[in-house]
Chain A
């Protein structure tokens, strides 16, 4: 099936997410849609897959204009999209999730569904546990299920939105193989949405580059990396020299620590962080690295072992006590788990004052906030509600709220969803702290980020921590293997 997008525009209020994009896609090929975060790739694909309606422009399937008012209809016409967080129902079992929306029969025919699902899985080389609940599956497995579902519907066009973030190397190999099979052997059209050059070059036949809502270039693969980089960014972002600030003194000692939650048990973790060090944690969701961060933050008590921060035994400290001891924890969801929608920047500053007074001196806080806004280059006023700030500015605000004497910063996915410029700025802020002796322990699904920013890295897989590697001496590929379970 040939697909054409003709002069597609999608505006959200003033924001022009897609500003007149025209593409033509042929069957049997793998296309890469490349661009940094915020370029408009996801939005364009959401339009193609029926999740959004375009503000203007037409979609054509095999030369006929097509309009979808829901993803389900798009799928019926042959276009399916697999989201970065696949749209499945966590509390259902795999089979139920597969059967949802499958047909319009009243009673569920579980027998037929099971046979069909397993047959399609074999076709693509996947291994599925029918009885499992969706919320126990890994991200890679959930992606596979979505692909199977679309295959069952007879999809001709498969769109994958950033599929390799958060899956292991093996799962990626498996995915890429199945995609090649779908396109080159079965004649489907595959579109890979990504901000990772290397992957696009590895998998795709043809790449289209978006920047600020417009299509700025196309090329066949193979294509020199420089060309693609120049298309993606207006100017080549400066490669900051990575200066090591690692001191000799050990700041954080994680000694034979074991902890668990109701899903996973992690045993015997040993880690030594030096003052001024940036330590990265790699791993699939649910492998234990997040739990480690939460133990270090004081959310979870370790069942065994000791935690020592600059000589102080902090094993039993609650989250608030850890905070006072100089530990900061920044979870991934900025508005859900960090900032308070409805409150202004100024109110946040007042709230996080380590030595608050009984009555609030608003004039004082207004001045203090203005100063911090200037220092951290937050685009906003003291009175601005934080939910009105952009993602990058929200992240900067979170940093502006940190205590000046913070010793250990724990981060989950620090630059998720941020464009390159914002991400760079955030890291510069962090390196600034590191230069003053702070330690950073962070987890990320972006293996390139881990390699580029850390001093040392460890990978988690199934509750076990791998050997610690020096960032300078490793590659994203090696990390990919480690998170898949290689020790």
Chain B
């Protein structure tokens, strides 16, 4: 297929953005229900390692992904348990788990670095992949990429158009109200935290089995933190989060492109870009900066613009819910 350069670039952006998109959807669900899973970075590392090794040893990509999902869900369970049952600080537990995940992945994976393993087979969707321009960009990848796209749509629909979605949102926004409506807040919190964790694990697996094949120490380092930032930037909405993931995916491709065109722009810029971008997007959605940005535009557009840019975290994020303990 003779595609212009830019189509190939966009196609690779979609591929690059896939693991982030999956992780962002997962963490969005978790945070929407009121829990912050700060162990994302360590989870993804551990899941990437586990799924790579399992895939290698069983020669099955499917089992690899399953293993990754289990790892992610397990770490998420620890966080949920520590917060809901033990009433401990979610941030502290999450952070330590992140470090632990990183160290464990380095230790347990030490014999498998730089080894070729299994990979997700390419599978362009027949028919759709032949559509000019859109085809190669979106429909000429593999199941994991399509899964990510479907996941965004599914998560969005689930959260905003279904009854369980309303319940999930109430658990994170105002659990007392949910409780009064018959929502079992803590059970939902366990459920979606583990589901979110499983998705994060799948995202890690998507890395070592699809996007950046293989395993090496620190394989996915940094991605978890970027995912956490994107959840905020995305205003806790899957679609907007996916756009954020694509933005980051684009930044990598863009940096690679720049490096080829301007070789004197050293590796420094390439490496620094995601971090600068992370701070940038977080600044963009903070209220003070929004004020400054909005002022550039004419009066008419300002409220709309403010509404688009402003993000509002779930009201009960990071808090513990104890049924029957609200005083007046």
Min CB distance, B119 to chain A, in Å? 36
The answer on a CB contact under 8 Å between A89 and B169 is yes
B315 interfacial by beta-carbon distance below 8 Å = yes
Min CB distance, A434 to chain B, in Å? 29
B27 interfacial by beta-carbon distance below 8 Å = no
The answer on a CB contact under 8 Å between B315 and A91 is yes
The answer on a CB contact under 8 Å between B161 and A87 is no
B298 interfacial by beta-carbon distance below 8 Å = no
| 8 Å CB contact of A100 from B181, B306, B312, B314 | B181
The answer on a CB contact under 8 Å between B328 and A106 is no
Min CB distance, A248 to chain B, in Å? 42
The answer on a CB contact under 8 Å between A103 and B163 is yes
Closest B residue to A146 by beta carbon equals B180
Please give, as numbers and ranges, the residues of chain B lying within 8 Å of A88 by CB-CB distance: 174, 177
Contacts A42-B328, A106-B164 given; indicate if A87 touches B182 (C-beta within 8 A): no
A271 interfacial by beta-carbon distance below 8 Å = no
How many Å lie between the Cα of A101 and that of B177 in the bound state? 10
Min CB distance, A92 to chain B, in Å? 7
B140 interfacial by beta-carbon distance below 8 Å = no
| 8 Å CB contact of B170 from A89, A103, A108, A262 | A89
Most buried by A among B163, B323, B324: B163
Residues from 303 to 328 in B contacting A, C-beta threshold 8 Å:
306, 312, 314-315, 323-324, 328
Please give, as numbers and ranges, the residues of chain A lying within 8 Å of B314 by CB-CB distance: 91
The answer on a CB contact under 8 Å between A92 and B163 is no
Min CB distance, A136 to chain B, in Å? 12
Residues from 37 to 62 in A contacting B, C-beta threshold 8 Å:
42, 51-53
The answer on a CB contact under 8 Å between B179 and A70 is yes
Min CB distance, A280 to chain B, in Å? 23
Interface string of B222-259 (1 = CB under 8 A from A): 00000000000000000000000000000000000000
The answer on a CB contact under 8 Å between A70 and B182 is yes
Interface string of B284-317 (1 = CB under 8 A from A): 0000000000000000000000100000101100
B57 interfacial by beta-carbon distance below 8 Å = no
A99 interfacial by beta-carbon distance below 8 Å = yes
A118 interfacial by beta-carbon distance below 8 Å = no
How many Å lie between the Cα of A315 and that of B179 in the bound state? 46
Q: How many residues on the B side are at the interface (Cβ–Cβ under 8 A)?
A: 25
Interface string of A415-456 (1 = CB under 8 A from B): 001000000000000000000000000000000000000000
The answer on a CB contact under 8 Å between B183 and A87 is no
A90 interfacial by beta-carbon distance below 8 Å = yes
How many Å lie between the Cα of A322 and that of B118 in the bound state? 68
Closest A residue to B165 by beta carbon equals A108
Please give, as numbers and ranges, the residues of chain B lying within 8 Å of A84 by CB-CB distance: 328
The answer on a CB contact under 8 Å between B180 and A99 is no
Please give, as numbers and ranges, the residues of chain A lying within 8 Å of B181 by CB-CB distance: 71-72, 87, 100-101
Closest B residue to A50 by beta carbon equals B180
Please give, as numbers and ranges, the residues of chain B lying within 8 Å of A36 by CB-CB distance: none
Please give, as numbers and ranges, the residues of chain B lying within 8 Å of A108 by CB-CB distance: 161-163, 166
Min CB distance, A206 to chain B, in Å? 24
A104 interfacial by beta-carbon distance below 8 Å = yes
Min CB distance, A10 to chain B, in Å? 11
Please give, as numbers and ranges, the residues of chain B lying within 8 Å of A268 by CB-CB distance: none
Interface string of B171-204 (1 = CB under 8 A from A): 0011011111111000000000000000000000
Min CB distance, B156 to chain A, in Å? 14
The answer on a CB contact under 8 Å between A87 and B163 is no
Min CB distance, B192 to chain A, in Å? 16
The answer on a CB contact under 8 Å between B328 and A52 is no
Please give, as numbers and ranges, the residues of chain B lying within 8 Å of A104 by CB-CB distance: 163
The answer on a CB contact under 8 Å between A96 and B163 is no
| 8 Å CB contact of B163 from A42, A51, A106, A417 | A106
The answer on a CB contact under 8 Å between A90 and B182 is no
How many Å lie between the Cα of A317 and that of B324 in the bound state? 43
B167 interfacial by beta-carbon distance below 8 Å = yes
A111 interfacial by beta-carbon distance below 8 Å = no
Please give, as numbers and ranges, the residues of chain A lying within 8 Å of B328 by CB-CB distance: 42, 83-85, 161, 417
A73 interfacial by beta-carbon distance below 8 Å = yes
Closest A residue to B323 by beta carbon equals A70
The answer on a CB contact under 8 Å between B173 and A90 is yes
A355 interfacial by beta-carbon distance below 8 Å = no
Please give, as numbers and ranges, the residues of chain A lying within 8 Å of B161 by CB-CB distance: 107-108
How many Å lie between the Cα of A93 and that of B315 in the bound state? 15
| 8 Å CB contact of B166 from A72, A90, A100, A417 | A100
Contacts A87-B174, A88-B174, A100-B170 given; indicate if A51 touches B180 (C-beta within 8 A): yes
Please give, as numbers and ranges, the residues of chain B lying within 8 Å of A102 by CB-CB distance: 163
A105 interfacial by beta-carbon distance below 8 Å = yes
Please give, as numbers and ranges, the residues of chain A lying within 8 Å of B163 by CB-CB distance: 99-100, 102-108
The answer on a CB contact under 8 Å between A71 and B179 is yes
How many Å lie between the Cα of A102 and that of B166 in the bound state? 11
Closest A residue to B182 by beta carbon equals A72
Min CB distance, A72 to chain B, in Å? 3
Please give, as numbers and ranges, the residues of chain B lying within 8 Å of A42 by CB-CB distance: 328
| 8 Å CB contact of B183 from A96, A101, A262 | A101
Residues from 128 to 173 in B contacting A, C-beta threshold 8 Å:
161-164, 166-167, 169-170, 173
How many Å lie between the Cα of A73 and that of B183 in the bound state? 11
| 8 Å CB contact of A107 from B162, B174, B183 | B162
Contacts A73-B182, A101-B167 given; indicate if A87 touches B324 (C-beta within 8 A): no
Min CB distance, B176 to chain A, in Å? 5
How many Å lie between the Cα of A91 and that of B312 in the bound state? 9
Please give, as numbers and ranges, the residues of chain B lying within 8 Å of A71 by CB-CB distance: 179-182
Please give, as numbers and ranges, the residues of chain A lying within 8 Å of B178 by CB-CB distance: 89, 100
Interface string of B58-81 (1 = CB under 8 A from A): 000000000000000000000000
The answer on a CB contact under 8 Å between A89 and B173 is yes
12 intermolecular pairs with C-beta atoms under 8 Å apart: A70-B323, A87-B177, A87-B179, A89-B173, A89-B178, A90-B315, A91-B315, A100-B166, A101-B181, A106-B164, A108-B163, A108-B166
- Smallest CB-CB A-B distances: 8 pairs: A72-B182, A101-B181, A87-B177, A71-B180, A87-B180, A100-B166, A89-B174, A89-B170
Q: Give me 16 other A-B pairs in contact (C-beta within 8 A), A71-B180, A89-B169 excluded.
A: A51-B324, A70-B180, A72-B182, A72-B183, A87-B181, A88-B177, A90-B173, A91-B169, A99-B166, A100-B163, A101-B167, A103-B163, A106-B162, A106-B163, A107-B162, A107-B163
